[in-house]
Structure 1
Amino acid sequence: MARLASMADLVLRNLTATPLELTLVERFEEEEEEPSSCCPILNCNITSRIGGLFNSSSSTVNLRVQDDAKDPDAKDRREVSFAVAPFETRATDVRAAVPGQETVRLTFESGGHRYQVDVTGASQRSTVMTKLDGGPNEYTAIYVAAGSCLTVLSSANLSAWMRELHDEYPLSALSIPGTHNSPTYHVALPSVRCQAVNVREQLENGVRFFDIRVSVSPGSPDMPLVHSAFPVSLTGTRYFKDMLDVIYSFLEANPSEALVMSVKREGTGRGTDQDLSKILKDHFYEGARWYTEPRIPKVGEVRGKIVLLRRHVNDPSLDGEWGGRGWGLDGSVWPDNCADAMLGSGIARLQDFYEVEHPRNIPDKIELARSHLERAAEPVCPLPGSEGYRPDAPPPPFFFNFLSASNFFNANCWPEKIAAQANPAIVEYLCLRHGEHGKGPAGLQVGDASTGVVITDWVGLDGDWDVIKCIVGWNARLQLKQ
């Protein structure tokens, strides 16, 4: 009984554009399924904590969803009424589930329809709510045990999530998930590989910022994909053109979407930045597929296109492009290993602190990422016709926020090890604290609550896309203003 008395009450956080009301709470004794040789997923541990999100499969428990929302096996059943407005956090007097002992089944109503989710007492991977009566909305729930908080997100169609957003928003106002060294998903040298899945899977699951490094030889359009001096694959050279063909195919199938691509010269090729700019201009940058104007665009201007962010100096022959303003978003003056700095061109504010020498320093890196999320949440972007809108107002800068870091000489600080801590920690922050006035590391006030561009390692491992889902989910805040 002492253990039950010590449990905190459940907190509900609605991060969707629709109101929700918790109407029914049922409790069940928890029963784990017996291990099955024909279905490995049933061997999962229902009490895995958020630190294990990154490497675990979804948990399963022996419970049945009842269409009539009444289950005779429930040990306790209570009708309640807790209304939670869009982007509201509300405390309840509903006791959170006891880890390892019980599961709490919650039934919500929205727009006259009912949705249901089972919550255990431990943090777990996201769960899509069950529709009890064919409701039109799709909801995803994430329970964070650290705050006894159930966070509800819109289950956006990740392959086409940008279609829900107004054309007039500047691209920098959006919450955009990205990947660091995006094509490094092949068999590679230690610390070179940064991603779990291929480029197409990243795109299909919502990633809209790609970090690309190429090796350049003067006059040759055959640019190998690299990470620092090393090829991204030990099983054969991978080329920029082949990756672009995959991206073009995705954008043709999903014309509502846009992709920001950072392109940087690395590797052992003898070409210069100037060579790279000319090769890209002459062989790759097609007007119908690329946005190369040196200004932050609006969403409607770039649907179906790749937005160029160049981390290289242009050849002087490109200085006259776009009325003498140059070519591409300028990221050529990129502060190195920085906690918070402006790009030289002023188009972005950057957190890219990547030197983590020891595992004990990983929490410091995570705190830098939280601080940059808080900064990204401050700006406000009014739409035309709304209060405060000025057609001549400059767009906010991009907030580029790298979760990635590594130390080649310490296997405990390779990208996958850091991501195993950073990704679930950011899921927790986005569910509990992001978008709440004064709840960030510096106690800042909140504007549109964008996350900025959050750039990740090792997403999609074992099907875990929760950090991407959380980032995309925050765009629902913009939908409220449309």
Structure 2
Amino acid sequence: MAAVGGLVLCLGLLVTPSAALAADASYRTLSTANHPDWMRPLPDGTSLAALSIPGTHETLSIHGGSWTQTQEDFGDGAATLTAQLNAGIRMIDIRARVNSGNTFTIHHGATYQNANLDDVLARLGAFLAAHPGESVVMRLKQECTGELGSCTDVSGQSAFQDIFDAYVARRPGLFWTPSVTRSAGAAMPTLGQIRGKVVLAVLNGSRGGVIERYGLAQFAGWHDGSSAYVQDEYNVPNVGAIATKRDQVRRFLDATSAASPALMYVNFASGASVFAQPQQVAGGAWGVQGVDPFLLAYLNQGPEVHTPVVRTGALMLDFPGGGLIDKILSYN
């Protein structure tokens, strides 16, 4: 293990920029956005699928260093989630480890993020009570694989789905019920059906497979990486490959914009590897434009440059800036 640690340290010295990447309207300025009630004026009959939704990848990953952190740190105990919700984030990506006492702790790989699922649900409940016109979409994933670099679930506990059901039962009314039923995926809801509720989009196992039939029926094929309605090409092998990731995000964004508004699309702008940290992929490095500034520029371009985007779907971002959040919401 000492040898592995030394290798990681050496790689860090090789690939980490000497100074922090500069914040701008697209990157690391989440608190400049303020949209706690953006869903409220939208008609009740609006389909969730038709919305342009700012989201966060690894929503609570604020600890563990440059290879692990994916979001600005606004505090432990899921205080960071509250900051995101106030900024306008409405789709979240929660990764849980099975811990003793049949509980979930929030992890990114081996790193505990100083928050538990109770913290997450308490923050969601408080926000939705204060802003009953809103709804939050959640992707919940079993994080631990037991492999090097990951976490290991505590043995002797209940199955992941049984523990989740217990959390749901302890907070009646928080989740939109059709999305947390094992036996049948839910049809795509309208805003009027889900205001004040958390919608579970999918429950993923540790290797990306779908657990039971929770969530929205449209996402029954949401496995590890990309699928019909999800772009999640998360392996960015080096800084130069950020250009490829930008193109993957752009192509899926264009496909989303052209598709039926009755279908929901989830586009992960995130990516990483040993030689490309999440902050580099998001913000750019070594003269290579990051995905976040690319997205803001692309969305701001007019019809003389490319076919205009008419909706973004859910864009799952690392270190989003306030200007990018503002722009995504402008499509609603």
- TM-score band, normalised by shorter chain: 0.7 to 0.9
**Structure 2 gap segments, 5+ residues each:** 1-20, 74-79, 145-151, 179-185, 206-210, 284-289
Alignment of 1:245-260 (within 5 A): 245-260=122-137
1:296–1:329 CA contact under 8 A, matched in 2: yes
Q: Specify the alignment match of 1:226 in structure 2.
A: 107
CA distance in 1 between partners of 2:240 and 2:198 (Å) = 38
Aligned-pair identity in percent equals: 28
Deviation at 1:271, TM superposition (A): 6.3
CA distance in 2 between partners of 1:336 and 1:400 (Å) = 13
* Matched residue count: 277
Deviation at 1:329, TM superposition (A): 2.3
2:33–2:88 CA contact under 8 A, matched in 1: no
Does 2:98 match 1:216? Answer: yes
Larger strand proportion, structure 1 or 2? 1
1:192–1:403 Cα change, 3 Å: same
Deviations 1:170-221 (CA, angstroms, capped at 9, x unpaired): 1010000000000112x32431111014111110000000000001147x34
Match of 1:417 among 280, 283, 288: 280
Match of 1:55 among 1, 22, 34: 22
1:162–1:256 CA contact under 8 A, matched in 2: yes
CA distance in 1 between partners of 2:200 and 2:277 (Å) = 29
Q: Specify the alignment match of 2:222 in structure 1.
A: 334
CA distance in 1 between partners of 2:254 and 2:157 (Å) = 34
Deviation at 1:303, TM superposition (A): 0.7
1:401–1:455 CA contact under 8 A, matched in 2: yes
1:217–1:423 Cα change, 3 Å: same
Deviation at 1:55, TM superposition (A): 2.1
Deviations 1:133-162 (CA, angstroms, capped at 9, x unpaired): xxxxxxxxxxxxxxxxxxxxxx99611101
Structure 2: which amino acid aligns with 1:216? V
1:454–1:271 Cα change, 3 Å: farther
CA distance in 2 between partners of 1:259 and 1:335 (Å) = 21
Deviations 1:367-398 (CA, angstroms, capped at 9, x unpaired): 111111111112355xxxxxxxxxxxxx32x1
**Helix, strand or coil: the match of 2:265?**
strand
Q: Specify the alignment match of 1:426 in structure 2.
A: 295
1:292–1:328 CA contact under 8 A, matched in 2: no
1:403–1:454 CA contact under 8 A, matched in 2: yes
Does 2:324 match 1:467? Answer: yes
CA distance in 2 between partners of 1:307 and 1:273 (Å) = 26
Please report the TM-score for the alignment, with normalisation by the length of structure 1: 0.53
2:175–2:197 CA contact under 8 A, matched in 1: yes
1:161–1:360 Cα change, 3 Å: same
Does 2:259 match 1:379? Answer: yes
CA distance in 1 between partners of 2:304 and 2:97 (Å) = 45
CA distance in 1 between partners of 2:158 and 2:266 (Å) = 25
Does 2:151 match 1:284? Answer: no
Match of 2:198 among 270, 291, 306: 306
CA distance in 2 between partners of 1:221 and 1:336 (Å) = 25
Structure 2: which amino acid aligns with 1:259? V
2:47–2:191 CA contact under 8 A, matched in 1: yes
Q: Specify the alignment match of 1:202 in structure 2.
A: 84
CA distance in 2 between partners of 1:272 and 1:432 (Å) = 54
CA RMSD of aligned residues (A): 3.1
Deviation at 1:222, TM superposition (A): 2.2
CA distance in 2 between partners of 1:156 and 1:362 (Å) = 26
CA distance in 2 between partners of 1:165 and 1:272 (Å) = 46
Structure 1: which amino acid aligns with 2:111? F
